[in-house]
Structure 1
Amino acid sequence: MIGPDPVWRLTPALGAPLGRGRLRVTPEDFQVDEQLAFTPAGEGEHLMLQVCKRNANTDTVARHLARQAGVRAKNVGYCGMKDRHAVTTQWFSLPWPIKRDLPDPAAWSDPGQGIHIRQLDRHDRKLRRGAHAANRFRLVLRLETPLDPTAVAERLDQMRACGVPNGFGPQRFGWGGSNLERFEAQDRPTGIVLSAARSALFNHVLEQRITDGSWDQLIPGEWVCLSGSRSGFLAESVDETLLARLKAGDLHPSGPMPGRAGDGPAGEALAREQAWLAPASKWLEKLGVCGVDALRRPLRVIPQHLQWEQEDRDSLTLCFELPPGSFATSVVAECIETD
């Protein structure tokens, strides 16, 4: 298996953790609120539902809504998977004929499964993955060691200025990395198993760039990702204009989500990636055979609206927003060491 051990535990990039604590002691310690980039249209042949779930995974909610609506689970849309051991709010969609009256949110809720329908409205299309603007987090860490408030404030200032490594968290890899074992065992893996292998390779490259100090820097031949966009461009050289945009958070260095040929680095940046990924040649070959297209992912993410509070010596609360696909544990890891 390639990458850090475990594959989701990257070397801290901003310095040693400021203390040690526990995350998710209760589901309420990990709260996520999905932020849409739009509002429901109020008309159309789809139904959008905002659901608050506690100790339930996204697939469980999707199947529950499918049963209530009398549709297939595959016809239920959502923007992304949300944590199970948490209290999370997210949107779902499902087909709903024009002539059919809107359902009663209370009747569709299931407190026994931790599913509560907060609101619903008509919409004109199915929700697609990544259609949300951001995820808003409120995390409570139960501290096992005392914290220096000055050090916490300084560390969060670092995060606001240069961001944190945009690694994939443990949720991506299954319990104990089981999705990676399944990738190696299966001839043509699909879905989350395929994604786990690509994520592990990305984390491996990110770990190398944390080690050499370039995770938040541009190197010649970098494929640059634009902030808030899936677009990017090749930077054959690095000039003052690019460095200014990097400092402003307008663009980011990138790492590979391997697959079939796609956009990518050149020159020095390409040579480094090829050397780092050489031990994973069998994985790369399998990804190519599986027909997944290569993509680029930003190596760093800058938390927005990052705030902290400490009501007592035994806990630390962090609040922030991240774009779709980024993991809250990446922010926590740069401040507090957890299991």
Structure 2
Amino acid sequence: MNGLPTWARTLDAAFGPPLPGQYRAAPDDFIVEEQLDFTPEAHGEHLWLYIEKRNQTTLDVVKQLARLCGVTPRDMGYSGMKDRVAITRQWLSVHLPGRDAPVDLTERLAGVDVRVLAQARHPRKLKRGVHRTNRFTLRLSGEAVASDCFTARWQALCHHGVANYFGPQRFGPGGRNLARAEAVLARGWRKRDDRQGMLLSSARSFLFDEMLSARIEAGSWNSPLDGDTLMLDGTQSVFRTDQVDQTLKARAEALDIHPAGILWGVGYTPDETPAQRFEAEVVERHPVLCDGLLRSGIKPARRALRMRLGEPELKIEAGHATLTFLLPRGGFATAVLGELIAHPDVAGG
């Protein structure tokens, strides 16, 4: 498997392909703020730190913080992986039972360009995926921003939602993670070949994006079909519908529910319903990936085909556009950008 395909966009039919644009020219042009829906309890064995980093990955900071506190990376916790070329704010936790952090921890972190914005104790380690949303503030420029239809494209995303693609970063530079995943799954996945599950994740993400692109082309990415699994907006709660009625169509139009596609795993086989024929077609096109995932033992899951932009704002001045919006956990800002600008690093190509 060489490189990644160009997946369908939702706005091309109405506005044509997006024009060239630039983003993330500097870290200050891409700001991400992780948001929990609870606060630390101010007591317990784990020290939680709300940090701001720039030009570093989350794992870079985890390793630095573990070293400064004299613990192993296993004693560290974080909810999400944040971008490197960006200013990002997120919570980390350090297991420090019966002892305090070094008195000069804040100063030493500042020396490696990490600011501590808040800290508090909590009884439990910070687990992956517990944050509710991420707030993005993005600064764009270029021909796309200057075009007459830029604002209309943005408004359409606010009204109809955004296709919930996994971003290109999930697949590695040039899609190399995906090529590695195909090779590993072809011979049979083993934990020692993929300690962090990155290759399994790349394969599942690719199959999901393939299916989502097909539903965009068919015009059913944002409306339920018979046999669909539907996800309530802002939650992971799902239910299946064997037959779509007007109530479900109205709820989908209001962005209250979204069709949810499969993340392949053991025991999943598409049935003959209209919704799952798209997933059956993915199996036909990519049997090695699908069969390898079924044999890997990973559990199947569901992901919404669409995400709502929360609290969206747009400001255009001096040839630059500043976008502010919330995305649910697991949502990629590149999926938004791929509908607004043509750039090699965003979804849609």
Q: Shorter-chain TM-score: what band?
A: over 0.9
Q: Does 1:326 align with 2:331?
A: yes
| 1:183 counterpart residue number | 181
Counterparts of 1:124 and 1:20, CA distance in 2: 49
Shift in Å, 1:23: 1.5
Q: TM-score, normalised by structure 1?
A: 0.92
Partner residue, 2:8: 11
Give distance in 1, aligned partners of 2:155 and 2:145.
Answer: 20
The corresponding residue for 2:340 is 335
Counterpart residue number, 1:116: 115
Which deviates more, 267-276 or 319-328? 267-276
CA separation in 1, counterparts of 2:83 and 2:136? 11
- What is the one-letter code of the residue matched to 2:161? G
Q: Judging changes above 3 Å, is the alpha-carbon distance between structure 1 residues 104 and 120 closer, same or farther for their aligned structure 2 residues?
A: farther
| Pairing 1:233–2:239 present | yes
Q: What's the CA shift for 1:147? A: 2.1
Q: Which runs of 5+ in 1 are unaligned?
A: none
**Cα offsets for 1:220-270 (capped at 9, x unmatched):** 111111212222111101111111211222210111210112597762212
**Separation in structure 2 between the aligned mates of residue 177 and residue 268 of structure 1, nearest angstrom:** 30
Counterpart code for 1:14: L
1:216 Cα deviation after fit: 0.6
Distance 1:132 1:246, change over 3 A: same
1:334 aligns to what SS in structure 2?
helix
Cα distance per residue 1:184-228 (max 9 Å; x no partner): 232425311110110000000011011111111111111111212
Decide which of 281, 285, 307 is 2:287's aligned counterpart. 281
| 1:75 counterpart residue number | 75
Paired with 2:100 and 2:64, the residues of 1 have a C-alpha distance of: 19
Q: For 1:101 and 1:111, how far apart are their aligned partners in 2?
A: 16
The answer on 1:28 being equivalent to 2:28 is yes
CA contact (8 A) 2:133 2:328 kept: yes
- Distance (Å, rounded) in 1 between the aligned partners of 2:78 and 2:250: 36
- Are 1:44 and 1:124, in contact at CA under 8 Å, matched by a contact in 2? yes
Q: Alignment length, in residue pairs?
A: 333
Where 2:240 maps in the other structure, the secondary structure is strand
**Counterpart code for 1:47:** L
**For the residues of structure 1 that align with 2:269 and 2:69, how far apart are their CA atoms?**
41
DSSP-derived class of the 2:39 partner: coil
Q: Deviations over 1:306-332 (max 9, x none)?
A: 11111212x221111100100001111
Q: Distance in 2 between matches of 1:144 and 1:244?
A: 37
Which secondary structure does the structure 1 equivalent of 2:132 belong to?
A: strand
SS in 1 for 2:146: coil
* Residue identity opposite 1:92 in structure 2: L
SS in 1 for 2:275: helix
Q: Which residue of 2 aligns with 1:138?
A: 137
**Aligned partners of 1:257 and 1:295 also within 8 Å:** yes
Indicate how the Cα distance of structure 1 residues 287 and 103 shifts in structure 2: closer, same or farther if over 3 A, else same. farther
Partner residue, 1:192: 198
- RMSD, aligned α-carbons: 2.0
Q: Distance in 1 between matches of 2:232 and 2:271?
A: 15
Residue 119 of structure 1 aligns to a residue whose secondary structure is: strand
What is the aligned partner in structure 1 of residue 47 from structure 2?
47
What's the CA shift for 1:6? 2.3
Q: Residues 84 and 307 from structure 1, CA distance in 2 versus in 1: closer, same or farther, beyond 3 angstroms?
A: same
Whether 1:269 and 2:275 are equivalent positions in the alignment is yes
**Cα distance between partner residues in 2 of 1:263 and 1:93:** 39
Matched, 1:259 2:262: no
Q: In 2, Cα distance between the equivalents of 1:34 and 1:133? A: 8
For residue 199 of structure 1, give the secondary structure of its aligned residue in structure 2: helix
